[in-house]
A and B are shown apart, each in its own frame.
Chain A
Amino acid sequence: MYQYDQHDQKLVDQRSQEFRQQVSRRLSGLISEDEFKPLRLMNGLYLQLHAYMLRVAIPYGVLSSAQMRKLAYIADRYDRGYGHFTTRQNIQFNWPALVDTPDILDELASIQMHAIQTSGNCIRNITTDPFAGVAADEEVDPRPLAELLRQWSTLHPEFRYLPRKFKFAITGSANDRAAIKVHDIGLRLKSGADGKVLVDIWLGGGQGRTPKIAQLFRENVSITELLPYLEATMRVYNRYGRRDNKYKARIKILLAEVGLAELQAEVEEVFSKIDKSRFEPVEAELSRLDSRFIKPLYHEIPEDENPEPDEPANLAVSLTGTSDLNAPVAHEYNRWLERNVKQHKQHGYAIVVVSLKRIEGIPGDASADEMREFASIADDYSHSELRVTHRQNVVLPHVKQTDLASVWQRLSDANLATSNIDLPSDIIACPGMDYCALATARSIPVAQEIAAHIRAKEKVTSVGDLSVNISGCINACAHHHVANIGILGLDRGGVENYQITLGGRSDENARIGERMGRGLLASEIAPAVDRIIDVYLDKRQLTETFSDTYQRIGKAAFKDSIYGDDHAIQTA
């Protein structure tokens, strides 16, 4: 993990001190809410439906156990005992009092965290692969560069008042788990022929009203040219991105209006004139960062030794006294190994994903007690490190395979062993009408209903990876456009109405889902999702994923399953 030095610390301390003055000016009435608004937004403080909401950055999704404990403390002391993990590797607190927010920022600063640039029209928290540095399929560890970009973008004087917010995502693996193609800029790190890192820049992806898949903007950029090139790109966007209409202000619209070739040419021109010497300290800084992301001291396990995770049967024996592989406990454990445990770079180790999509739970919510339990399990079994994912789950990145049974036991005792990672019930849902001031419909209760509906099916069929995402309005915070099954909650004359899109995906072959017909009522959604999954199970060939089947057979069969006879009549 990255450790702050005195400069990093001073910066967050000063920021927090500055915000304290601003809050006190607001509380004493010296400034109006209108004048306060841009100031609080710079510090991640939103005004929601019922209260203020504070959004805290978890840079590139990495947390120490100490940081997780502090988040638990903040949840208890200043909120209602909960925190909500978002799709952008942030955590939100939904009930802080304005007067407490400077204290919360101080608490955060004390553990090297902050809420800087988690809102407003600036460069937001940089997100990356939640398995960065540990994934077996990784080419380049994206974390040092992610930290470099965090520093570069933090309080960058030129880019604090952009036409609109700006999101970066980075991956260093061919299997994109960071959804880089639906970000304003996505960076794909590759290892070049001479061992030097090269970067492909994808530009203009995004969701919201006008979903777009990013285009390859510049290939094979060297690390030394990357920052000046990004600075040139941001400079062009800041100058020419539209400011007359906030729905047309993202860089994806500039790209669409100006065209790829012309935008590239303009950026090249600015880039050619940028004084690269200004970025000279960057190389030294990157190697400093590289050295600060030290590999945890893994227990070296000889390659010829194969430390299998503890057998389900053994676990059944130790817990129930029976060696029956069909004992419920062995069965549960087995399912968890299958769904929640991923392959690690280091021989003898595994990555454990903890699902925050429990039965009847709120997707992405964790209580303070659960956060403390995460911290404690991480201390005992994962080198005190945790990650949060854009699918709103938590990761224990360095677990010894021989410890898997113990970890499962601990999680299971805390009701945290739901084994549904990447299954349909691992739903991404935004806060929707329950918390969000912009919402046009509820998303949490609908997600809960779908999950309740399809859990049984997940258990008896081998449905496999299938993403279901629900957004409570057109802003698409839950990334419904790029879900296999996407659901968008709208308002039609005071009644919630849900639109379904199918066939989307957010990986390296990202696609925008296709819209089906008319919207459905809240009560119709769960059964419809169930029928859509049935069509897939019925039509898929061999190992086809949902997207594969959808591409092959097309929209019709799925659409029929949603609308049934009703649809047949309409289209007859």
Chain B
Amino acid sequence: MQYRLLSSGGEVRLVDDEWVNAAITIALQTELETGDNYALEKLVSSEQVLLIEFQSVADGRGFSSAAELRENDGYKGLLYACGRLNPDQLTLAFQCGFDGMVVDEQGWVSYGEAAWQQALKPVVDSGYAQTRWNAIDSIWMLRGAAVR
């Protein structure tokens, strides 16, 4: 199977099963006690790519998991979202610390290439409280800069 790897630079690259299998997919747990299945000490230093899977368009846990990995755990490696996501969620993924999204053939076809391409150049750019992983400054940062 082939996948599209959409990255924040606006780039679309084809990857295959082998690439996906080589990455570590984090399974999100639903119980607070169990926590997620990654051993961070290993990941933080690893050269491997991490994937967080979204189980449905409405399931936004992965956005917080990404933010947590980046901010709370200091993960610096490559991090991609995969699974059931729609083009409108691509911007959110970037803002939460993902490097991009892995889109399977079904997702690519059902929303259409045009929608994905458009999502790579979103209409809405700056929000108030965007996280630092977004290349664009947040409105609060812009206001702060204007004062200084």
Residue positions of A touching B, CB distance < 8 A: 5, 7-8, 10-11, 14-15, 17-18, 21, 35, 38-39, 121, 151-152, 154-162, 227, 234-236, 238-240, 242-244, 258, 262-263, 266, 270, 273-275, 278, 280-282, 284-285, 288
Contacts and interface: CB of A to CB of B under 8 A. Distances in A.
Given A11-B126, A38-B57, A121-B58, 14 more contacts: A11-B127, A11-B128, A151-B139, A154-B128, A156-B128, A158-B131, A161-B63, A161-B89, A235-B64, A239-B61, A240-B31, A243-B58, A278-B71, A288-B143
A161 B128 contact: no
A155 B67 contact: no
5 contacts: A11-B139, A151-B128, A158-B131, A238-B60, A243-B59
A154 B30 contact: no
A285 B124 contact: no
B142 interface: yes
Contacts of A236: 32
Interface string B77-117: 00000000010110110011000000000000000000000
Interface string B44-78: 00000000000001111101110110011100000
Contacts of B73: 273
A435 B143 CA distance: 43
Contacts of A242: 30
B68 A285 contact: no
A273 B72 contact: yes
Interface of B: 28, 30-32, 57-61, 63-65, 67-68, 71-73, 86, 88-89, 91-92, 95-96, 123-132, 134, 138-144, 147
Contact of B129 (A151, A235, A274, A275): A151
Contact of B68 (A8, A162, A239, A243): A239
Contacts of B65: 239
Contacts of A21: 123
B16 to A, nearest CB: 28
A235 B141 CA distance: 22
B68 A235 contact: yes
B63 to A, nearest CB: 5
A158 B143 contact: no
A155 B60 contact: no
Contacts of A154: 127-128
A160 B60 contact: yes
B123 A238 contact: no
Nearest to A288: B143
Given A11-B124, A158-B96, A266-B32, A278 B143 contact: no
B124 A14 contact: yes
B142 A7 contact: yes
A165 to B, nearest CB: 12
Contacts of A11: 124, 126-128, 139
Given A239-B61, A273-B71, A15 B144 contact: no
Nearest to B137: A281
A285 B92 contact: no
Contact of B63 (A35, A155, A238): A238
A160 B92 contact: yes
A288 B144 CA distance: 10
Contacts of A227: 129
A154 to B, nearest CB: 6
Interface-central residue, A11, A244, A263, A281, by most chain B CB under 10 Å: A281
A14 B141 CA distance: 19
Given A11-B127, A155-B124, A284-B147, A270 B68 contact: yes
